[in-house]
Chains A and B, each alone.
Chain A
Amino acid sequence: MASVDVLRTLGNKYSAEILEAAEEPRSAQELSDELDIPIATCYRRIDELTEHGLLELHDNVLSDDRRRIKVYRRSIETIQVAFDEDLAVEVEERSTVTNKLDEAWRNLSEPACTSSS
């Protein structure tokens, strides 16, 4: 299932290293240079990790030669795997100020929240 896919993606060569390095926003080129990953592989890994919600496109920054460069940042903090009963992969998202505010803001529109009167 989806859980196993996440683990496979994670198990691919360089995936863990990329996630570790992407604590702060990094471009594919930077990751490739820093971690000594062939650039084509680096792009492929980034796509896989992004597809599974482990890495996210953070921004398009302007390079020195005025090109747009995509930078990526990992969107998770922890992954827990449980083998009892069904295989369960629990992904803990990075807790950030923006996440918290987004969540609180989303909750505003939910019916559980008493309307201001």
Chain B
Amino acid sequence: MVELTETGIDGLDGILGGGIVRDSTTLISGNPGAGKSVFGLQYIYSGVESFEEDGIYLSFEENAEDLRQAAESIGFENWQEHVESGAIRVFDKRELLRENDFSSSLEIILDDLQDSRYERLVLDSLTMFQLFFEDERERRTYLLKLTDILRENGLTTVMTNEQGTVFPETDIGLENFLTDGNIFLLQTPTESGVNRYVWVAKMRKQDIDTDIFPMELAQGGIQVHQNASAFSMLGEGESPI
């Protein structure tokens, strides 16, 4: 029996058959503005609010104040309270890149990972993290080592991944093969704004619905509409990954 961690994202847990596999690493890919960071914030926030699971949020993209404002603007009012109580441990851009020396920050992070208090982790973004490595082989090796470390420390992890054009001509990066799960956040412009979709492309050990579902980015975070499958561009159960 596979144990699952609920993402707390309305509608998504249903598509996932309950949640993401405990201690696994899931990659959330999408272009800028697709909602990757909101996904991460919501995953950590609902962990604390609804599931009594504390979380670590690593951001190479923003500083703590930006994160707080982003969280509060989508209605995660208690974000700061949880940060202050330690239920949410934030490592922001400034802290991670202090004195241009990520390796000393990494030491602190690795210490915190071993602290059994935390069960969820967000890395925003993998794209930035991988800049610390010199070539593709090194990036690949250390992504695998990192996911091992996270798994062994009992952390169910979500990593965001910057991706250019996502669909339909998907350029599938190696990262997608190395993580346990892949979720793509898609957006298409319309006359009135933008239509948003979520596509769960792969989940190891899980029977999932690989259709593409419409989602909204609004107050309260991401909401996935489970009953209105938008496309059937892919054959049933066929994933290119």
Contacts and interface: CB of A to CB of B under 8 A. Distances in A.
Give the interface centre of A96, A101, A105, A108 by most chain B CB atoms within 10 Å.
A101
What does DSSP make chain A's interface, helix, strand, loop or mixed?
Answer: helix
Interface residues of A, number: 14
Contacts of A95: 103-104
B234 interface: no
B149 A105 contact: yes
Contact of A97 (B23, B132, B148, B149): B132
Contacts, number: 39
Give the interface centre of A97, A100, A102 by most chain B CB atoms within 10 Å.
A97
A102 to B, nearest CB: 7
Nearest to A108: B152
Given A97-B132, A108-B152, A116-B154, A102 B145 contact: yes
A104 interface: yes
A116 B146 CA distance: 16
Contacts of A3: none
A86 B134 CA distance: 40
A80 interface: no
Contacts of B104: 95
Interface of A: 59, 95-102, 104-105, 108, 113, 116
10 contacts: A95-B103, A97-B103, A97-B106, A100-B103, A100-B106, A101-B106, A102-B145, A104-B149, A105-B145, A116-B154
